[in-house]
A and B are shown apart, each in its own frame.
Chain A
Amino acid sequence: MSGCGFWIAAAALNAQRATVAIIASSALLLVFAMLRAPRNPSRAQYWFIVLPMSLLAGWLTIATAVNALTVLTMTSIITPADATLAALIGIAVTAVFAALVALRARNAAYLLPILWGLAGAYVEESQRNDPVANGLVVAFAVLALLVIVIVIRQFGARTNRVAALQGLASAQNTLCALRSTVASPATSRE
């Protein structure tokens, strides 16, 4: 585990490929953990474990794409001629991956840092590369819509659970009333 803190050292030493390996493996570990986590944590578990780790996982997902594109550019694998296409591919892969993970984990919080990162990239790219800026807008729109869908679904599921519990309580009350009627027929006739 102590080896996991090497990203800063790798960056400090300009160990380019190592930075990608570290950040990508960290993101994948978190996503893996998120997908394995139970769907109905307690309130405390949600606020103290699920939410912080979801935010971290989301940020690392988009940071992995940015870091990978940075290193591929540094190593001249991406040339200035390919830069726009490479950026668009990076954005698309990130958006599709994030959408699949969020849908599978039913986790809208995971998408929030990704939206934040896309917005941050748009601020820079809108001043210098329109196709990339447009790609960022599309990715942002799709993932924002997904956040709304997941939240509505969760709210619906919660409402259904509450309705089911209320129905159960109502049935229980009726049963109790019936029991008391059966237990004291004379009293009820009087």
Chain B
Amino acid sequence: MKPAARTALVVIAALIAMSIPAAQALTQFGMSAGEFSSGGDSTLRVAGYAFSIWGLIYIGMLTFGIYQALPATTESATLSPSPGHPLSLCPAAVSGSLPQP
């Protein structure tokens, strides 16, 4: 039996990870990630297209959230240590580590 708390954490984290950047982009709140990093990218700059990897990462986070939420998904040793397992925190934790420039 998988813990309900962890399932909820993973799903909420995945939702937060995807909704915060969307909300920021829609409301244009403050500086965008690109504007933020353009002020200091003279030391090491990454080509803009490299950040397209976020599409794949979002699909992965969504997949993880859905998989975790499915009733058929059984307890996973990959996540079993505790409801507060770091993996459940991560998608939300990185909602910000979004495309820089």
Is chain A's binding surface mostly helix, strand, loop or mixed?
Answer: helix
A19–B46 CA distance with the chains assembled, in angstroms: 17
Q: What are the residues of chain B within 8 A of A90 when measuring CB–CB?
A: 43-44
Bound Cα distance from A59 to B32, whole angstroms? 19
> Do A1 and B40 have beta carbons less than 8 Å apart?
no
Residues of B in contact with A, size category: 35 or more
Given contacts A5-B17, A49-B76, A72-B43, contact A63 B100 (CB under 8 A): yes
Residues of A within 8 A of B39 (CB): 70, 74
Q: Is B1 an interface residue (CB 8 A)?
A: no
Q: Residue B4 at the A interface, CB < 8 A? A: no
Known: A12-B31, A86-B43. A70 touches B94 (CB 8 A): no
In contact, A19 and B96 (Cβ under 8 angstroms): yes
Among candidates A19, A47, A49, residue contacting B36 with C-beta atoms closer than 8 Å: A19
A11 at the interface (CB under 8 A from B): yes
Q: Which of B32, B47, B87 contacts A49 (CB 8 A)?
A: B87
Number of residue pairs spanning A and B whose beta carbons lie under 8 angstroms apart: 203
Query: What are the interface flags for A79-92 relative to B under an 8 Å C-beta threshold, 1 for contact and 0 otherwise?
Result: 01001001100110
Q: How many residues of A contact B (CB 8 A)?
A: 68
Which chain A positions have C-beta within 8 A of B7? none
Q: For the complex formed, measure the closest distance between the CB of B100 and the CB atoms of chain A, giving whole angstroms.
A: 7
Could you show 14 A-B contacts with beta carbons less than 8 Å apart?
Answer: A1-B9, A1-B13, A4-B94, A5-B93, A7-B95, A8-B24, A26-B90, A30-B86, A49-B79, A57-B90, A70-B43, A74-B39, A121-B45, A125-B45
